[in-house]
Structure 1
Amino acid sequence: MINKALCLDPTDNVGVALTDLKIGDTFDLNGYKGNIISEVAAKHKFALKEFDSGEEVFMYGTIVGETTKPIQVGEAITLDNIKHKIREFQDEGATYNWNKPNIENIKGKTFLGYQRSDGQVGTANYWLVLPMVFCENTNVKLLQDAFEKALGFAVINPYENQVRNLVAAYQNEKFTESLAEPKIDTNSKVFENIDGIRFLTHDGGCGGTRGDSDTLCALLAGYLNHPNVAGATILSLGCQHAQVAILQDRLNNIQKGAQKPLVICEQQTEGTTDQLLQKAVNETFKGLIEANKIERTPAPISKLVIGLECGGSDGFSGISANPTLGRVSDLVVASGGSAILSEFPELCGAEQPIIDRCVNPTVAEKFIRLMDEYANAAERVGSGFDMNPSPGNIKDGLLTDAIKSCGAAKKGGTAPVSDVLDYTEYVKVPGLNLLCTPGNDVESTTGLAGSGANIILFSTGLGTPTGNPVCPVIKVATNDKLTARMPDIIDFNTGGIISGAESIESCGEKLLDLIIEVASGRIKTKAEQKKNYDFIPWKRGVSL
């Protein structure tokens, strides 16, 4: 029998509809019994008790809202009858005892990765081409077109033929080539041990504040230090705020092994554009020859650094996909690896349980400080964390930021919080790390890779094509309908948890198996197949 609704915690006073509930449907949850008195769409919530105006609404065992009017038993919870509210938080000096998951089934499991001299292990082997300033974006794209076509990394665009057919019809001619699915022409691939050349562009480096350009340099240094990057070509104009010297200083602060090969080309020094790009091509090709000499070798799970992200979330995110990511996070951490939980605006309301899991007061105090600074900055411009849920989130049951956040926090599992990282800080210790990023999906995934994640798990209930240039992004669906509707972007489905066919534990173990396949280069993620290489640096403004 399929459950129609559930209660997430013994202290909760609202239930969650797992399927559309009709007037007259009965429920028996958490000691509360009654009838549904208004239609409740799947993913949305309904009252288990009678509420007066001003009462606190509990989900996930914590405060997620406050009623704005009386609510009857079995009535749908909507923005018309509740508003955002969270529990006050502070460092209470709690002692946290972690009940580690049993990892006997995964002991000895390995993935085939690229061993770096600093002890990091790459899940891919890329050469990176990046600009120090937006003035060089056009030159980066010229290099991209040249290298991808010549080295077998180009993707055939299936829509070109569609446009040609339309042009032919418009000109009363006939174009007969069939439309084809996008594919990589691997017949001309030159370097067997290079997974790709990745080309970044951005709109920063000059014209903004010096703080923005310094932050950009720190972010780019994280990408150069990334275990999936073998070396890089850097294009600089010369006069911009984001100087190569600043980038090199930031890189020196975090790199531990042998220096990676860097090809630095400065246009105002080289002369003409042709001279600049000819040097870039020649020196990059030499770097590729060296990068191709490294091969994949077995590495333990402890070398995984899992980035934890969500986007296009729905009312099932905190029930199926996010807890599955949390299970994987716990398995990796228990095996000696690392996980990084991002998106601070989506931890609003979940602060106290996170604080209670911090390994020491210093870590807890840093988390509180960064959360307060971010929240205060948002309020100063009239946009508090309570404005985080998007129209799509709200439509699919995430009515308040606290409801969204408490479900989002499930991605972090149950492990102790080993460290808290500010934006662009590189991961230093194993275990669960918190990373201050905005709620914006691409800004956050960009930050996760810049802090050293070598695999990103991305849960979604509504669907999103987001990927990253240097880090494989595995898209995890919360429900069966999304997986069936958008199979071209979904890598893994946790909808069986909603139907009752699977458990969080079984989904977590299966997802870990997929991670090993992706990390070993045997499976390419859907985002990589479609070349969704999204890169947006955060300028430390208010981005929810």
Structure 2
Amino acid sequence: MAKKSFLVLHPKDDLAVALTPLSAGKVIVHSDQTITLLTDVKVKHKFALIDFNKDSIMTQYGVPVGRALSDIKTGEAITTENTEHSSDDMCNWMPGYQAPPTDASKFEGQTFKGFQRADGQVGTRNNWLVIPLVFCENNNLMTLREVFNRELGFTDHSSYQDELRNLTELYKNGASVDDILNSAESSGAKTQSSNNLFPNVDGLKFLFHNMGCGGTNEDSQVLAQLLAGYIKHPNTAGATILSLGCQKTQMGLLESYLERLDIANKPIYFHEQQQIGTEQELISKAIKSTFAGLIQANQHQRQDSPLSKLVIGVECGASDGFSGISSNPAIGQVSDLIVKLGGSAVLSEFPELFGVEKEMIMRCKDEKTANTFIDLMRSYEARAEADGTSMSSNPSPGNIKDGLITDAMKSAGAAKKGGTAVIQDVQDYPGYITKKGLNLLNTPGNDVESCTALAGAGCNLILFSTGLGTPTGNPVTPVIKVSSNTKVAITMPDIIDFDTGCIISGEKSLEETGQDLLRHCIDVASGTTISKAEKLGQDDFIPWKRGTSL
């Protein structure tokens, strides 16, 4: 079968996506139309299927995604010069959506090997956390990380160490700068856990951050609430907490949020430097309590657990013009399957829902849930406007270069990660997921801030769609990178876990690819497969300070 050169995503669409580079003069046939392209169309970019007059609205995914800045002829490429953002507003839409059926029969009765916690949650990893309440403790965290990693081997950068040692020898033997630059490359960092003393502990994780002291009272409260979520997290066995003593984010504030989350039977050790005295005494106590915590964490073992215990966060970053066609819908398939099986899926990144609010509102289970979403979206947009920007500024230069030229185009594709299920709950940052089914979580569009929030909300896996490739991960939750195209999967094999380029090529259907992706999730959840971000030691942790972050 010949590979398609373009794709129309919805019967209502008047734009088509180029699946390969298309040259001016090429004749294509769509439905009963024969169209001669008037301009070159880059791969992943769009072209007009009809004539647009100036100010006409363009449609993709069946929703408005742009407004013509000038007359555009059939067969002409859609660009930033002739198109701007446009979308439906949030007024006069109410819930009433009926989700299409989802066939999850192939996964009924399947289990994963997880860590069952006293509160009923199930972890996909078994981590011990070391958490500072203020950035003043980061240096002490670095000391603890170096001591524990050197002695217990939770991470291993030996190949990079070998490379530096080889360069040192070359320099001692008289090598020039060019000799150094052209020397053989490292075989790659070996960062997967090599801990042998505590085989049931997947990670000893250190949550470095730059908050806790200055800033607003809201900053301190949000940080404490987020950290409480990380301790509550099913992938967390317990935690060591370091405090200076005089910062805004006090121990008592964290303890109040721990009580609200009803954390049961988890060992938590608190150390306050200004009460203990010297740095040496603080670190000595922290070493002892963390080692004791690792002993307790090691008592947990993986057990067969139902797929209904999975809480999967969905995220996208470095998106391209194929993300909304392949990787995002494939993730949406997993979202629908998990919801059908009784689990939870969490769609975040509210700036990337700007432009598809109507769809989200109609998919909410009731008016109260819809109004919560509307209020959060309006508040976010008001903050952006107060800072002299707009949610429509979300697309990055990389997004635009690869075909996402308006925020509505990006959002319409990004929303596909949430599948087709009814929205059961909407939470503000930094909320914690308690409802089964599809949830919305208010987070920024910034990849790391959003993943940090998803993990803090209790997601025990995160599916991360990318079209251009991005190396981010999370200290607590495995982040599974899903590429929209095979080229980036081949170019960045150390980052990409799963390739959905087979959808673009026509080798596999969306449904089949989504099922394969869920099988991969089960392997990662069971610990039989380690995500690429984990192998690379990508433990990115950036709390959102509630400013404008698109």
TM band (smaller chain): over 0.9
One of 399, 405, 408 as aligned partner of 1:402: 408
Contact 1:90–1:355 under 8 Å retained in 2: no
The CA deviation string for residues 156-195 of structure 1, in whole angstroms up to 9 with x for no partner, is 2433333343343333358999944322586662001100
Secondary structure at the counterpart of residue 63 of structure 1: strand
Q: Percent identity?
A: 52
1:190 aligns with 2:197: yes
Instruction: Give the Cα–Cα distance (whole angstroms) in 2 for the partners of residues 406 and 187 of structure 1.
Output: 42
Question: Does the 8 Å contact 2:427/2:442 carry over to 1?
Answer: yes
Q: CA deviation at 1:293?
A: 0.6
> Could you say which residue in structure 2 is the equivalent of 1:4?
5
Query: How far is the alpha carbon of 1:473 from its aligned partner?
Result: 0.3
- Cα deviation per residue 1:301-321 (whole Å; 9 max; x = unaligned)? 100000000000000000000
Q: How does 1:134-533 map to 2 (within 5 A)?
A: 134-173=135-174, 179-184=186-191, 189-255=196-262, 258-533=264-539
Q: Does the Cα contact within 8 Å between 2:155 and 2:194 map onto a contact in 1?
A: no
| C-alpha displacement of 1:73 | 1.0
Distance (whole Å) between structure 2 residues aligned to residue 157 and residue 40 of structure 1:
47
Q: How far apart in 1 are the matches of 2:275 and 2:470?
A: 42
For residues 97-108 of structure 1, the aligned pairs below 5 Å read 97-108=98-109
Length-normalised TM-score, structure 1: 0.97
**CA distance 1:178–1:396, change in 2 (3 Å):** closer
Cα pair 1:232 1:263 within 8 Å, conserved: yes
Query: 1:236-295 CA distances to partner (integer Å, 9 max, x unpaired)?
Result: 000000001101101111125x23110111000110000001001111111111111110
The question of whether the paired residues in 2 share the 8 Å contact of 1:91 and 1:356 is answered with no
The amino acid that maps onto 2:259 is N
Cα gap change, 1:298/1:536 in structure 2, threshold over 3 Å: closer, same or farther?
same
Instruction: Give the 3 Å change call, closer, same or farther, for CA 285–159 of structure 1 in structure 2.
Output: closer
Q: CA RMSD in A?
A: 1.6
**Residue type at the aligned position of 1:192:** P
In the alignment, the residues of structure 1 paired with residue 496 and residue 282 of structure 2 have an alpha-carbon distance, to the nearest angstrom, of 41
Query: What SS is found at the alignment partner of 1:364?
Result: helix
Cα displacement string for residues 467-522 of structure 1 (whole angstroms, at most 9, x for unaligned residues): 00000000000001111111110000000100111111001100000000000000
Q: How many residues align?
A: 543
**Residues in 1 aligned to 2:366 and 2:34: alpha-carbon distance in whole angstroms:** 43
Task: Determine the C-alpha separation between the residues in 1 that align with 2:186 and 2:378.
Answer: 53
Alignment CA distance shift 1:527-1:232 (3 Å) = same
State the secondary structure of the residue aligned to 1:298. Answer: strand
Cα distance in 1 for residues equivalent to 2:434 and 2:457:
9
The aligned amino acid for 1:434 is L
* CA distance in 2 between partners of 1:241 and 1:186 (Å): 35
Match of 2:242, SS state, is strand
What is the CA-CA distance between 1:34 and the residue it aligns to? 0.7
Tell me how far 1:32 sits from its aligned partner. 3.8
Which residue matches 1:66? 67
The residue identity in structure 2 corresponding to 1:488 is D
Q: Cα distance, 1:381 vs. partner?
A: 1.0
**Alpha-carbon spacing, 1:447–1:64, altered in 2? closer, same or farther (3 Å):** same
* Residue 179 to residue 358, structure 1, CA distance change in 2 (3 Å): closer
TM-score, L = length of structure 2: 0.96
Shift of 1:380: 1.2
Which amino acid is 2:373 matched to? F
Unaligned runs of 5+ in 1: none
Q: Distance in 2 between matches of 1:71 and 1:180?
A: 52
